[in-house]
Amino acid sequence: MWFLSPKEADFFLDESATTQIKGPELKKILAIIALLGTQSSWGLDALDGRQIVCKALPSPTFPIIGIEGLRFVGRQVKGDVVLVDNDTVIIKNHKTGPIKRIGLRKVEFWENNGTYWELDRTSLVLRPDYVSDELSSFQCNLAENLKDYNAIMEEHRLKNLEVLQTELKKNKI
């Protein structure tokens, strides 16, 4: 427990002592308070502004599953998927959820439908909470910035569109 001596208490009660804090001292105090306040928010938004593009393992199975994109925005994960919509291929936002934990080697987050995901930060292997014969995990690659992320996702969309168009030519109706 810390107590003030009577002399120290008089300092805080003395009006002239409180008016002595001006300019640079006040700025330093405010900067320290601001710094201490931001330290508490460094946790779950540590990946803010990062993005990865992931391919299903053992290999993408077009057109059902295959390409996932994840963007870390603040304390949220926003996900995109390349999928078939009628007779074209689109990129659709479908995974959004809160980051649960960022650890030394793992990032854990929830999808808005309740699915739990775990990303290994060293190998960039993404695993859902379920494991099936068709899908065990995704291998991800880092996109340097949002422009690169969008370009990589668009490249996957165009490749899948070519595959879809080839398959559609086999249809008789």
List pLDDT tens digits, range 44-65. Answer: 677 888 999 999 887 766 666 6
Quick one: pLDDT at residue 119? 92
Residue whose tokens read 């996702």: 153
Q: Identify the domain containing residue 18 by its residue range.
A: 6-35
Same domain, 152 and 128: yes
Overall domain count for the chain: 2
> Parallel, antiparallel, or unpaired for β 125-128 and 106-110?
unpaired
Is 30 contained in some domain?
Answer: yes
The list of the chain residues with pLDDT below 50 reads 1-4, 11-13, 17-18, 35-42
Question: Strand locations in the chain, DSSP E?
Answer: 51-57, 67-73, 76-85, 88-102, 106-110, 116-120, 125-128, 137-143
pLDDT tens-digit series, residues 20-44? 556 666 566 655 555 444 333 345 6
